[in-house]
Copies of this chain bind each other. A is one copy, B any other.
Amino acid sequence: MSKNEIRIFCPATIANVSCGFDVLGVALDNVGDEMVIRKSAEKGIRITKLEGQDLPMDTHQNVAGVAGLALLAESGSPEGFEIEIYKKIKAGSGIGSSAASSTGAVWAMNELLGKPFSTLDLVKFAMEGERLASGVAHADNVAPALFGGFTLVRSYEPLDVISIHCPNELYATVIHPQIEIKTSDSRKILKTHLTLADGIKQWGNVGGLVAGLFTEDYDLIGRSLQDHIVEPIRSILIPGFDKIKSVSKEAGALGCGISGSGPSIFAFSKGKDTAQKVAEAMTHVYQKIGVDYDVHVSKINTEGIKIID
């Protein structure tokens, strides 16, 4: 009994995750877009509806379109698809807006085609959407959107994505100050070299964070959420970053860092109550300095993309 149409939830995602620059990502549970994908008599892919954000509807200029075309090119399928996108994640927010759309398209098309492709294949197709969005075919956001939970992109050649166990009581708080930082600009300010001493700290913390997730050691997760390399540079572009970070920890957050390339800031907490207190502490900072914001509190989403009715 094959379906001709599905409606899905496509999660927002936090990439980089402090020490895990360019390798770690995690999916959110109640922050994300909706999409409807249906088979159509006409070959190829058409974006037939796009609500919530001002983004191109031309298939070749839309990340969902481009990712879907990458899948079709590989499948050799004679099918055509229509895509409706209901954006709730703002473009340029740093919580994987483009990844939500590109993963949603390929995940749903794979479902409608009877799942000819593995999740890892879907990551590769969705990366083509990221290439369109930022110039770099990275997997930091598309991997957690497709696999759910925490993912580690261990290597690109060959592509190797590892699912990392996630403790049940881990919540994320994300605050999005209403300024735009383009991923491409945020990449430009990165230094191309680092000291060996900073590198050692960084991979020590990545090891600690992965160990903390597997052993459900919340304190270790918190101690490991440090970034001595990228955060000191990128945080300069984010208003009130240091203050947000300090009040989050005072409110009980395990740790706090830049989501993706910013400007969103994430914090992890044990339990929803603490995550909610962290959200309040964060919002007070932006209310005081007069920065508009969106704020989200979410459980970690361990499934990734989901079918909704």
On A, residues with C-beta under 8 Å from B are 19-24, 152-155, 160, 162, 164-165, 190-196, 199-212, 214-215, 220, 223-224, 229
Complex Cα spacing A165 to B213, Å: 13
Chain copies in complex: 2
The CA-CA distance from A263 to B282 in the complex, in Å, is 52
Nearest Cβ in chain B — how far from A216, in angstroms?
A: 11
Residues of B within 8 A of A224 (CB): 154
Residue in B closest to A165 when the chains form the complex, CB atoms: B214
- A47 CB to nearest B CB, Å: 33
25 pairs, A vs B, C-beta closer than 8 Å:
A19-B203, A21-B203, A22-B204, A23-B204, A152-B208, A153-B204, A154-B208, A154-B224, A155-B204, A155-B208, A162-B212, A164-B211, A190-B196, A193-B194, A194-B194, A199-B199, A199-B229, A203-B206, A206-B206, A206-B207, A206-B210, A207-B210, A211-B214, A214-B214, A214-B215
Contacts of A202 in B (CB 8 A): 199, 203
In angstroms, Cα B204 to Cα A128, docked, is: 21
CA distance A212 to B160 in the complex (A): 13
**A203-B206, A224-B154 are known contacts. Are A196 and B194 too (CB-CB below 8 A)?**
yes
**Hey, which chain B residues are within 8 Å of A215, CB to CB?**
214
| Bound CA span A21–B212, Å | 20
Q: Which residues of B contact A191 (CB under 8 A)?
A: 196
Task: Check A205 against B22 for contact (C-beta < 8 Å).
Answer: no
A211 CA to B153 CA, complexed, in Å: 12
Most chain B CB within 10 A, of A200, A203, A214, A220, is at A203
Name the distance in Å between A238's Cβ and chain B's nearest Cβ. 20
Question: With a CB–CB cut-off of 8 A, which chain B residues contact A190?
Answer: 196
When C-beta atoms are compared, the residue in chain B nearest to A209 turns out to be B207
| Nearest CB in chain B: distance from A213 CB, A | 9
Contacting residue for A23 out of B21, B162, B203, CB 8 A: B203
| Contact among B195, B201, B207 with A20 in the assembled complex (CB-CB below 8 Å) | B207
Q: Considering the complex, give the chain B residue whose CB is closest to the CB of A223.
A: B160
User: Known: A193-B196, A196-B193. Contact between A162 and B203, CB under 8 A?
Assistant: no
Q: Separation in Å of the A225 CB from the closest CB of chain B?
A: 12
A94 to B230, CA, bound (A): 34
